[in-house]
């Protein structure tokens, strides 16, 4: 009986060793890879260029975007204007945001942060910078009081005259909120209360368009 157990143990050890050898060996044919470049692709960092890139024109990792490309988070509104001017934007662009107390309140905060140093808290052009350099118009006087929202949005984005562009400071959604509050200042109001439903509509007191503004026909 003892001899039989010893033989069994030795046989088990041999089989176990063989199984390990078989498992660790790579004698099986893995076959062929279909489109191996998809498995072993070369990672290209667009912001790091060490060697010349032999796959892209000009040898650069970063390539010029295709014409008409709109970056994620950007609206690319100027692609839809008949011409890239504030006057055209005033006619063809509508505020896509709903006129709510929340949007107005956020617009007021953004206006106070980025615009009031020149334009003043009341929109009268008497901010600390405006008093120093003079010539900042009041939102409630003359032509400026009648500027439509699209015009204001274009000027915030691209600047005009002595006003520099603010596109790098405020994203498109924030700009539209500022526009909404500036239109409040055009009426001589600094509050953020919205009248009862049915008396006002989004943005420029016209129907709000889809997410990406398109020109009116």
Question: With pLDDT > 70 as the criterion, what percentage of the chain qualifies?
Answer: 72
pLDDT by residue (tens digit) across 177-195? 999 999 999 999 988 888 7
CATH 1.10.760.10 fits 80-186, yes or no: yes
The vertex-213 CA angle with 157 and 80, nearest 5°, equals 75
- Number of Cβ within 10 Å of residue 159's Cβ equals 14
CA dihedral 72, 105, 148, 83 (to 10 degrees): -10
Q: What is the pLDDT of residue 144?
A: 93
> Which residue would you say has higher pLDDT here, 212 or 67?
67
pTM given for the model: 0.61
Q: Could you tell me the two tokens for 15?
A: 């089989």
Of residues 40 and 118, more confidence is placed in: 118
Q: What is the distance of C-alpha 121 from the center of its chain?
A: 28
How many Å is the maximal CA-CA distance in the chain? Answer: 114
């Amino acid at each position: 009986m003892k001899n039989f157990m010893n033989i069994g143990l030795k046989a088990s050890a041999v089989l176990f060793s063989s199984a390990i050898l078989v498992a660790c060996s790579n004698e099986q044919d893995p076959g062929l890879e279909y489109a191996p470049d998809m498995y072993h692709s070369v990672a290209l960092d667009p912001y790091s260029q060490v060697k010349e890139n032999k796959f892209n024109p000009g040898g650069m990792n970063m390539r010029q975007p295709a014409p008409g490309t709109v970056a994620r988070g950007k609206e690319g509104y100027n692609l839809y204007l008949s011409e890239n001017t504030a006057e055209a934007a005033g006619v063809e662009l509508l505020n896509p945001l709903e006129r709510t107390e929340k949007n107005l309140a956020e617009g007021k905060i953004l206006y106070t942060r980025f615009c009031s140093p020149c334009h003043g808290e009341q929109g009268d052009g008497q901010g600390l910078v405006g008093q120093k350099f003079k010539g900042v118009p009041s939102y409630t006087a003359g032509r400026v009081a009648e500027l439509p929202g699209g015009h204001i949005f274009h000027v915030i984005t691209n600047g005009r005259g002595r006003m520099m562009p603010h596109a790098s400071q405020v994203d498109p959604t924030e700009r539209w909120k500022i526009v909404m509050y500036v239109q409040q200042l055009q009426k001589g109001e600094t509050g953020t209360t919205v009248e009862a439903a049915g008396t006002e509509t989004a943005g420029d007191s016209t129907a709000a368009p889809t997410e990406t503004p398109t020109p009116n026909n």
